[in-house]
Amino acid sequence: MYQRMHSQSNPPSKITPVVIPRSNHPISRKMLDEEVLKVLYRLYHHGFIAYLVGGSVRDLLLGKIPKDFDVATNAHPHEINTLFKNSRVIGRRFRLVHVFFKGGKIIEVSTFRSRSEFEEVQTEEGEILRTESFGTPEEDAFRRDIKINGLFYNIADFCILDYVGGMADLERQLIRTIGDPNERFQQDPVRMIRVIRHASRTGFSIDPQTYQAIIQHRGEIQKCSPSRIRDEFLRDLKEGAAQPSFDLMLRTGLLFSIFPDLQRAYGDRNPLKKKAQQYFLSLFGLVDQLNKMNRPVSESTLFALFLIPFIHVIAPEHPFLGRREQYHYFTQTIRWAVHQIMNRFSFPKGIKETASQILIAQSVLKKTFQRGFIPKKLRMKGYFQEAVLLYGIKAQANGERVPHLLRNAVPSDLLPWWPKEFKKRRRRSGRRFPSTSSID
């Protein structure tokens, strides 16, 4: 029934999984969305294997609410498609099925496979072969990235099937690749970013061998398609653990393998690299705080933040230039930095443009205190609030306050740190809060 294609990381022969009965694990059907239960049961009642897999099993075992639920089965894409009227077969390299529900919910159902679609099989001419590598459940477990992501929940008997030692790693709070990390990172270098993200999100430590393999193979990230790097990297920025992710990326050097230019700011070429790194990390610590408060930061603002310490290093104030020329020099530097860092990853033009505008607007915002007003032209811009938010995050990272003028120009909840602090202090003193710095 299956076209078996062994890769070295797959099990050499049939492996019996450790079976954890329902009484020995906390996952109950009540924790699963109604839609995923429907999908699992329909597959099961039609005689197919139906497992909940990947991140959702991991998150449920960690007591977290999964972002989404993924299902794996021995049904082939066309069989899945026939079972669910509201479904569509998708995927270029490996076909899988999206089952659509009311309210826009999508359950992803994929057939067990023997290798990841990104472990490329190429012809001598370099053409990527579209061989669909359907596999067995154990092959599907072994083709996954890290052990805590390789667990299956079986709807037939509510047991967890552990082929890869994922339960032990969850208990030990360890992030470790399935199989030899050197081999797994060479097969698909994007896994290095994933290891770092999962370690950062869970707070688990990275197994020393896996960690060393990142250091050894970090340069190979350049072989991956820029769009995959971009997508994994964006998840680092957005999913609430940007600060620890960047910390690990700096420690392992993976950040420099992805963005070689950043060496100038955070690498040995900058004598003040520690300070630049700290500033960078504190900016993203604040982004994580905002995410936890359910205030996601736009992609343009994230990129602008990402570039700020770099721009500080490459564009110090130029003492011999007049004001106009300084401004021109500054805007040119920003445009160059945005182009240099982001172009390779084909970020949408709109995001790059807004990131540049937000960065350029910072010098105008700074001048508002001297002038005592915000130019109407700037207030009317679509990116005005993003520019103020960026200003606010920088101010917080530097331990400065945001001028009233700016706070009053945006909704009170845009800058979560200041309005509250301001009101509290005012009430306590009963007087107007005195201005303590030239910027406020």
Contact residues toward ligand ATP (CB under 6 A) are 54-55, 67, 70, 116, 118, 144-145, 149, 188, 190-191
For residue 162, the cross-strand partners are 18, 151
Q: How far is the CB of 188 from ligand ATP (least distance, A)?
A: 5
Contact of 415 with 390, CB cutoff 8 Å:
no
Q: How far is the CB of 185 from ligand ATP (least distance, A)?
A: 10
Q: Any idea what DSSP says for residue 153?
A: E
Residue-wise DSSP of 5-21: ---TTS-SS--PPEEE-
Q: Which is nearer to ligand ATP, 43 or 175 (CB)?
A: 175
Q: Which is nearer to ligand ATP, 87 or 202 (CB)?
A: 202
- Note if 68 is an active site residue: yes
Angle at 110 between CA 104 and CA 111, to 5 degrees: 155
Question: Is residue 22 classed as helix, strand or coil in its secondary structure?
Answer: helix
Q: Which is nearer to Mg ion, 11 or 55 (CB)?
A: 55
- State how far the Cα of 310 lies from the Cα of 323, in Å rounded to an integer: 22
Q: Which is nearer to ligand ATP, 93 or 273 (CB)?
A: 93
In the block, residue with structure tokens 């003492």: 319
Q: Which is nearer to ligand ATP, 111 or 368 (CB)?
A: 111
- Burial class for 29, CB neighbours closer than 10 Å (0-12, 13-18, 19+): middle
Residue-wise DSSP of 307-318: HHHHHHHH----
Catalytic residue among 59, 140, 145, 169: 145
Q: How far is the CB of 53 from ligand ATP (least distance, A)?
A: 7
Catalytic residue among 33, 68, 180, 440: 68
Report the residue closest to Mg ion, judged by CB.
Answer: 55
Partner whose footprint covers residue 188, from Mg ion, ligand ATP, none (CB < 5 to 8 Å by kind): ligand ATP
Build a one-symbol-per-residue string for 53-72: x at contacts with Mg ion by CB under 5 A, - elsewhere.
Answer: --x-----------------
Stretch that binds Mg ion, among 50-58, 191-199, 224-232, 303-311 (CB under 5 A): 50-58
Report the residue closest to ligand ATP, judged by CB.
Answer: 55
Taking alpha carbons only, the member of 91, 92, 118 closest to residue 189 is 118
Catalytic residue among 70, 162, 247, 288: 70
How far out from the chain centre does Cα 403 lie? 32
Question: Is residue 136 classed as helix, strand or coil in its secondary structure?
Answer: coil
Q: Which residues contact Mg ion (rule: CB under 5 A)?
A: 55
Catalytic residue IDs: 68, 70, 145
